[in-house]
Every structure is written in C-alpha cells, then in structure tokens.
Chain A
C-alpha cells in the first residue's frame, strides 16, 4: 500500500525566501513520487516526478525535490519564492505499473511581499 504525509497544511514565506514543503511517503514497493500544484480555480498541474532515475529531480518554475530513501522523504524546494508561487501543493505516490495516485492532504503556500 502507498500513502504520503504532508507536514504543514499552511506554509508562509517571504518573497525571495527559501520554499520548503515536506512530504514523507510509505510504500511497500519502490515508489513513483509526484508533486502537483493547484492554482485557484484550476486543475492539478504536475510540477515534477521521481521515477527511479536521478534522486534529485528538477521541475517547472524553479522547483526541485530530492528522493531520500533512508528518510522516506520527497521534500519540495525552491531557492527563492515568487508571488506567483502562491498555490496549493500536493505530494502523491504511485506504484510502478499502476496509475492510481495516492495524494497527501496538500500544503497551501502563501508568499508575503
């Protein structure tokens, strides 16, 4: 079975500050891991994904995430927050060969000018 836990339902950062959104996973098989972003009134958009290649994954809009098996983590980071990064972020996991995604509860990122 797969699941993810996102620590912090709300995160606030100042514009230009580091963004760190936490995600820990649980999986009985080597997982595929995803970060999705949802802007108001829009669908979920893929930011990046880990599918057992490089452990440091770079995504769109300057985001990246590192798969750490020893910590069962897949935290999302961005060196410098921009006002346009304000959105809801979802971590998700699936198993190889399956498409059903198991999502976390989401983290709402607020960027303070």
Chain B
C-alpha cells in the first residue's frame, strides 16, 4: 500500500540554525500539507501546497518557514532560523483531490528538537 514517508525521524538542531524536513508524498497525489504538534498540544495546520505554490497557510507559517517541491517526488519544509518554540513533531500529508471528503494520508512525522 502506498504511504507517505518522512526523513529524518528525529532532528536535533541548535537555535538559529536552518533545518529542512523532507517528505515523499504518495506519487499520484496533488495536494500536500504540513502540520505540526507541539508536545501535549493540538496538531496544527501549517501550510497546503498545490501546483507548485502555496494554496493556504496558517498564521504560524511566518517568514521563517518555506516549502518547496524541488523535484517530482520530494516535498520539503524549511525553517530558516529555528527557535526553541519550533520544537515539535512535524507531519506531512498528501491527498489526491481537494474535496474535503477524501482522506489525507499522513507520514510518521519528524520530531524536531531545538536546543
């Protein structure tokens, strides 16, 4: 069964450093998402991406964040200058069509620890 994969599973970085989290969505899917979950808090929507551009973003997704689909398979989330409060689990998701009814397929997540 096709699945969304994410690398690395755990990333430790120092405050102020740049990190890139990688995701490989399901191959025929068209819409891609990043969510994050700070420990003990809700899973929060960050950004959605379609046709090589951001289609929607939350207020969490500020200028420190960027997303890219550099090739036909990877979907990346970059944090330019990490802060302590960026420590969280980051989930990538993909979906074939944007209808609201369809299932979003989630990856296993990347745990980001900023020290």
Q: Interface of A with B (CB < 8 Å)?
A: 32, 36, 41-46, 49, 51, 90, 92, 94-106
Contact = CB atoms under 8 A, between A and B. Distances in A.
7 contacts: A32-B101, A45-B106, A46-B104, A98-B100, A99-B95, A99-B99, A99-B104
B108 A101 contact: no
Contacts of B31: 99
A56 to B, nearest CB: 17
Contacts, number: 67
Main secondary structure of the interface of A (DSSP, over half): loop
B65 interface: no
Q: How large is the interface on B (under 10, 10 to 19, 20 to 34, 35 or more residues)?
A: 20 to 34
B44 A46 contact: no
Given A41-B108, A42-B108, A103 B43 contact: yes
A46 B106 CA distance: 9
A95 B100 contact: yes
Contacts of A41: 9, 108
A49 B108 contact: no
A23 to B, nearest CB: 12
